[in-house]
Amino acid sequence: MINRVLIRLKLIQIVYAYYQNGDKTIKAAEKELLFSLSKAHDLYNYLLLLMVAITEFAENRIEKSKSKLVPTPEDLNPNLKFIQNKFIAQLAANKDLLEYKEVQKRTWGDDLNTVKEFYELITNSTTYKKYMASATSTYEDDKELWRKLYKNYICPSESLDETLEDMSLYWNDDKEIVDTFVLKTIKRFEDKNGADQPLLGEYKDDEDREFAVNLFRYTIENGDEYRSLIGKNTKNWDLDRVALMDVVLMQCALAEVNHFPNIPLNVTFNEYLDLAKLYSTQKSGSFINGTLDSIVNELKKEDKLIKN
């Protein structure tokens, strides 16, 4: 599940904290990086459970309505289509998700206000009403309903972002990327797999985990060399006057440029320029791009840059 976009994002955070705080060893910071990445996988599972929690909330609402002193005909004969959604039933029974749920101290039951907010948002939506009005639905229809609901209501929710950040500092800035993993998971579900449907693993493969660890080590261990290169190529700027975040972004980019010959230069540049938009100033992008371009040209002239 953890891809290189998320690895770079976490790397920037940990390297910045490493220089800002100055009280951690490289080994401790590396451990922090891996823990931070594992928390992103926790968020993935927690967001999958949110869909189940919303459905369970809807079911509890129906049961409470039946228990009214004077229930209406609609209360006694509700439309059960939403709570009997075949995709959600499969997700709720998923072995991997249940295993994750069993070891968690916190559940969505601890935050019913958020669940209720999404329930009301969803049940008032045109997507929901159109689905409920349909006489029948296939497994694919049920799955498509939740793809739309997640994409249109859960993904853009700012209040959910705030709630998740309050739950874990490690989830800050993660949700946008993790949302893409959740949508990919919904798309991959197949009825025939039942409770054994594979979820996305923490890493796609061992290579990505090694990429995270090695990139971090190269960034820190060669920090003095990269900062020297940055200082020589920042026109009209002393390195001490360059924002720490901009230095960190360039330092991480140079570690990737120099030690991962299979990654094209344009991919590395684009990834760190995107991170600059997220973490630095409006002018940082062009400044970082120009500085890195100058350094790369210097490395090429000195025949110190190897790219496949």
Residue 221: is its pLDDT beyond 70? yes
Q: With beta carbons less than 8 A apart as the criterion, state whether 198 and 97 touch.
A: no
Whole-number pLDDT of residue 234? 85
Residue 281 confidence class, pLDDT cut points 50, 70, 90: confident
Tell me the sheet residues that pair with 203.
2
- Distance of CA 214 to CAs 157, 204, 222, 281, 300, Å? 35, 16, 12, 28, 23
Whole-number pLDDT of residue 255? 98
Q: What is the mean pLDDT of residues 128-139?
A: 95
Whole-number pLDDT of residue 76? 85
Residue 116 confidence class, pLDDT cut points 50, 70, 90: very high
CA 30, 36, 41, 45 torsion: positive or negative?
positive
Most confident of 48-57, 74-83, 232-241, 280-289: 48-57
Residue 308 confidence class, pLDDT cut points 50, 70, 90: confident
Instruction: State what percent of residues in the chain have pLDDT above 70.
Output: 98
Domains of the chain: 41-196 (no CATH), 222-301 (1.10.940.10)
Whole-number pLDDT of residue 239? 63
Q: Structure pTM? A: 0.91
Whole-number pLDDT of residue 172? 81
Residue 77 confidence class, pLDDT cut points 50, 70, 90: confident
Whole-number pLDDT of residue 69? 86
Of 211, 209, 184, nearest to 198 by C-alpha is 184
